[in-house]
Each structure stands twice: as structure tokens, then as C-alpha cells.
Amino acid sequence: MTNYLTGSYQHNIDSKGRLTVPAKLREQLGASFYLTKGIDGCIFVYPEKEWEVFLSDLCSRPISQAAAVQRHFIANSALVETDSMGRILIPKNLREYASLEKDTMFLGVGKRAEIWSTEKLEEFNDSQTQESILSAMSSGLI
């Protein structure tokens, strides 16, 4: 049975770019895992095993169809390790991409997690409507 990442956790990023990984997610992510640019202005967080599955799928696609997507995810990825206090150092390019300054949210969203600026997440959530969610569900996503 797959151990899915779930829940929402508020944490602050410090001035050096370190962020505490929620204990529940840390257990599932392991001591090291991958960060990369996500979509909608967040950072995607992949356990090593899921990162390998994601890369395998992405790299199996024809270059003519996948080059831009491969660049977005692979060229902007970083392997990070938790320190003795359960923190990770988020690379500067990823902090800038996700507008991470202080208030952050760590979300478990299935096989990956996401790191959001609290402000960006609130804006994103405000843009979602009942109709858009129902439309996505009826299009075969669920």
C-alpha cells in the first residue's frame, strides 16, 4: 500500500532559506528528497523513489513533446537533506520562484508535497471555485 503525503502545515522560512519539514511528512519523505519548480508558483517535493518514477516517465517521452517540461522540472531540481533540526535549505532560485520570504505552507498532496508562500496559496485557493473543481472531477480526473 502506498503511503500518501497528506495534510497542511504552516512554518516560517528563516533568513538563510531554511525551512522546517513537518515531522509527519519528514517520516515519509526520508532524510533526503528532491525539490523542483512546481506549477502555480509552488515548489514540488518528491521522495527519492517517487522522483525516480517521475523522471522515468518524463524522460520516456519524445524530446519534441517534452523538452520544455523536462527543462522546467529537471534543470531546476535539487536534492536536499534534512539537518539535525529537521530543516532543509531551499536553493535561492526555488525560493525566488515560489516567492518564499517568511510565512510558508507545506502541503501533502499524494505522492508529492508542495511548498507554498502562504500569500500565494491563499490567492490560489481564492481563485478556485466549486464549479472549477466539479469540472475537473467530471473530466475524468477523479
Rounded Cα distance, 106 and 52, in Å: 22
- Written as one letter, the residue type at 100 is L
Report the length, in residues, of the chain.
Answer: 142
12-30 pLDDT per residue, tens: 999 999 999 999 999 899 9
Residues 35/91/117/40 CA torsion (nearest 10 deg): -50
- Set out the domains of the chain in order of their start, with CATH numbers: 5-117 (3.40.1550.20)
Q: Taking residues 102-109, report their average pLDDT.
A: 95
Calpha distance 34→44 (Å, rounded): 8
Question: Is 70 exceeded by the pLDDT of residue 79?
Answer: yes
Q: Which residues contact 140 (CB under 8 A, 6 or more apart)?
A: none
